[in-house]
Amino acid sequence: MFPNFHYTTELHINADAEAVYAAIADFNSYSQWNPWLIQASGVCAEGELVDVTVRLGRRVMSVQHKVLETVPGRVLRWCDLGWFTKAAYGERCRTIEPQATGGVRYRNELPVTGPLAWLAHLFTGRALQQGMQAENEALKRFVESGGSTPEA
């Protein structure tokens, strides 16, 4: 059995589930707000392919993803389709849970499995965790500001 690694970040967003989902499902707007997935293009529908440019620390790389599950207002799940997926497979799931007190709990999970998951963890684990956290915080700012980015 190979060791697996599981990266998780979560936070509270003062917005409704539909607004949060609309932001993460609009791949073409990622360049406006997302510091980790700095560019994306594609359609948010199960089975669709999405081209993503990701910032991992100081490196920038392009990777294709496949949308696996969409539940509007609740779940967006996709997987990497890069050359490395046979050795270290990642499947990211973002969940949105409305809270009785208002807003949502937003959870971003990325399990990495496979015979070289340990190597991916060694070389990119910290950048993955930091990227996910930066994305969460940027999403929170973006959605709570009504879907606009601050002027530079």
- pLDDT tens column, 105-142: 999 999 998 888 877 877 878 888 999 999 999 999 99
Residue 152: CB atoms within 10 Å: 3
Give dist(CA 2, CA 118) in Å, integer.
8
Quote the pTM value: 0.90
Q: Is the predicted pLDDT of residue 63 greater than 80, yes or no?
A: yes
Q: How large is the C-alpha radius of gyration of the chain?
A: 15
Q: What is the pLDDT of residue 152?
A: 34
Measured between alpha carbons, how far apart are the two ends of the chain, in Å?
49
Q: Give the distance, in angstroms, between the CA of residue 101 and the centroid of all CA atoms in the same chain.
A: 25
Residue 14: name the closest of 84, 121, 103 by CA.
Answer: 103
Tell me the residue type at 60.
V
Number of folded domains that form the chain: 1
Q: What confidence tens digit (pLDDT) does each residue in 29-50 have?
A: 999 999 999 999 999 999 999 9
Contact yes or no for 64/50 (Cβ under 8 A): yes
Is residue 66 a part of any domain in this protein? yes
Q: What confidence tens digit (pLDDT) does each residue in 68-113 have?
A: 999 999 999 999 997 777 788 889 999 999 999 999 999 999 999 8
CATH number reported for the structural domain that contains residue 52 in this entry: 3.30.530.20
Give dist(CA 139, CA 88) in Å, integer.
27
Range of the domain at 137: 5-144
Is residue 18 a part of any domain in this protein? yes
Is residue 90 a part of any domain in this protein? yes
Is residue 151 a part of any domain in this protein? no
Residue 90: CB atoms within 10 Å: 23
Angle at 79 between CA 66 and CA 33, to 5 degrees: 85
Is residue 21 a part of any domain in this protein? yes
Higher model confidence: residue 23 or residue 147?
23
Tell me the residue type at 109.
E
Contact yes or no for 68/46 (Cβ under 8 A): yes
